[in-house]
Structure 1
Amino acid sequence: MKVISNPRAQRKQREYEARREEILLAAERKFSQNGFFKTSMAEIAEAAQFAMGTVYRFFKSKEDIYISLVEAKVEELLRLLEEATQSRLPAQEKLRAVIQVKLAFADQNRAFFRIYVSEWSGFEWTVKSAFGERVWKRYMAQIDLVANLIKEGIKTGEFRKVNPKDTSLAFHGMLNSTIYLWILQSGPKESLVDKGKWLGSLLLDGLGTSTLKRSM
């Protein structure tokens, strides 16, 4: 990122970022209330208290706004996961922390991510392609983070020998499926964070060296 040293330029950059953030927050509220397809750029502009022209200076379309929102969510989640796994705890406990952080994050942002789960099939292919390109690297960083924890656990003898990358993909696949089904569920819901307890046991027992001994 380019460092801006001019005070006036720094102030303008802060103002630009603040306005952009206001638009994103307003869009998130409208998307959560009305759904993506029933929300217009005019409604987003009104909610942000900006003129339409101002909104278009920052984003070329509401699809662009939504992709930017998802990018921000994925970046925030990655930051939280990195913070949760920087301790000196055993690899097994770090993986439990990953489960709890990811489930808690989905719980706190369920209104927003419900749009992604329920309306994704309606996006045009060009939007999905742009989404994939912009978010894929951030998602793979999560995969690599867990793969490195699995490598660490294998090295310390906590986990049996498995393919770290494939196991990380399976790990995230199970978590994501649990999150998506929970988001789409209607009626009273079990706490998503509470599901982390049995998910942790299921995932980590499968990785444990005791599993290998039982299968021999």
Structure 2
Amino acid sequence: MRCLKDAIMDNIKLSRREREKSKHKQEILDSAIRLFSEKGFYNVSMQEIAEKSEFGVGTLYNFFESKEQLFVELMEVGIEKFGQLLIPLLDSEEAEEKKISDFIQAHIELMESNIELIKLYISQYGTFTLVNPMPQKLSNDLNISIQRKLEVILNTGIQKQIFRRVHAEIAALSLCATLKAFILESSENFDKEKAKDGFSKIENYFMNSVLNKNNDNNKA
């Protein structure tokens, strides 16, 4: 019979192989996003991605059946990252005003860390020449989830008299639309300081429109 030590070593080796495989896959995705951002999806070949990532083209096909599948996974991973950054802020135990503030300001980090991905998404899904509709559906699902959570936060704040009696659904939609428009406008020539200023202005404008000025806690 094999000893426990041998079984443990096999698991360690498997774990190392999986980590190495995951690392190689991420290197391919990183190379692909740079090329797609520079040239556009349709002007990049799998051969170019292989050369950029320093793998053989056969290795790419071990991970992805096609360039389209690679692109879709790239988008899906990015959208998942956005959700992992933003959703916990809205689900936190912080006060309602703080949740919204943290959510808005988190978009600075989101843009800075993912600017190439954002540009790529806009270039493909801001037009009618869609590579694949699935990432757009995932993005829409995330947006709907965020809007609903914002609506709950606003309604809770209204009940606590932190916020005025605004229409929570419309206010949430308005905030999301404003953030999206600013990201679209500022992504082409991203500047972190200008982004900070822009998101701060969005926060100030939104808070001024929803805060209950008669609440003692909201008075200057």
Alignment TM-score > 0.5, same fold? yes
SS of equivalent residue, structure 2 residue 83: helix
Question: Is the CA contact (8 Å cut-off) linking 2:151 and 2:168 kept in structure 1?
Answer: yes
Question: Is the CA contact (8 Å cut-off) linking 1:114 and 1:184 kept in structure 2?
Answer: yes
SS of equivalent residue, structure 2 residue 150: helix
**How far apart, in 1, do the equivalents of 2:137 and 2:185 lie?**
25
- Counterpart position of 2:30: 25
One-letter code aligned to 1:203: F
Instruction: Give identity over the alignment, percent.
Output: 25
Q: After superposition, what is the alpha-carbon deviation per residue over 1:4-33, rounded to whole angstroms, capped at 9, x for unaligned?
A: x97155444333322221211111222233
Q: CA deviation at 1:163?
A: 4.3
Question: Is the CA contact (8 Å cut-off) linking 1:77 and 1:102 kept in structure 2?
Answer: no
Q: How does 1:41-56 map to 2 (within 5 A)?
A: 41-56=46-61
Q: How does 1:139-158 map to 2 (within 5 A)?
A: 139-158=143-162
**How far apart, in 1, do the equivalents of 2:179 and 2:87 lie?**
17
- Counterpart position of 1:194: 197
Query: Normalised by the size of structure 2, how large is the TM-score?
Result: 0.77
Query: Normalised by the size of structure 1, how large is the TM-score?
Result: 0.78
Q: Aligned Cα RMSD in Å?
A: 2.9
2:84 equivalent to 1:60: no
Gaps of 5+ in 1: 212-216
Q: CA deviation at 1:116?
A: 2.3
- Counterpart position of 1:38: 43
One-letter code aligned to 2:100: L
Question: Is the CA contact (8 Å cut-off) linking 1:103 and 1:179 kept in structure 2?
Answer: no
> Residue 22 and residue 88 in structure 1: after superposition, are their counterparts in 2 closer, same or farther (change >3 A)?
same
Q: CA deviation at 1:119?
A: 4.0
Question: Is the CA contact (8 Å cut-off) linking 2:163 and 2:211 kept in structure 1?
Answer: yes
Task: State which of 102, 112, 118 in structure 1 corresponds to 2:117.
Answer: 112
The structure with the largest alpha-carbon Rg is: 2
Q: After superposition, what is the alpha-carbon deviation per residue over 1:27-53, rounded to whole angstroms, capped at 9, x for unaligned?
A: 122223333332221111111122212
Gaps of 5+ in 2: 1-7, 215-220
Q: CA deviation at 1:99?
A: 0.8
One-letter code aligned to 1:75: E
SS of equivalent residue, structure 2 residue 165: coil
- Counterpart position of 1:101: 106
> Residue 122 and residue 58 in structure 1: after superposition, are their counterparts in 2 closer, same or farther (change >3 A)?
farther
Q: CA deviation at 1:177?
A: 0.5
> Residue 84 and residue 130 in structure 1: after superposition, are their counterparts in 2 closer, same or farther (change >3 A)?
closer
2:188 equivalent to 1:184: yes
One-letter code aligned to 1:142: I
Q: CA deviation at 1:152?
A: 2.8
Question: Is the CA contact (8 Å cut-off) linking 1:31 and 1:112 kept in structure 2?
Answer: no
2:206 equivalent to 1:170: no
**How far apart, in 1, do the equivalents of 2:139 and 2:159 lie?**
31
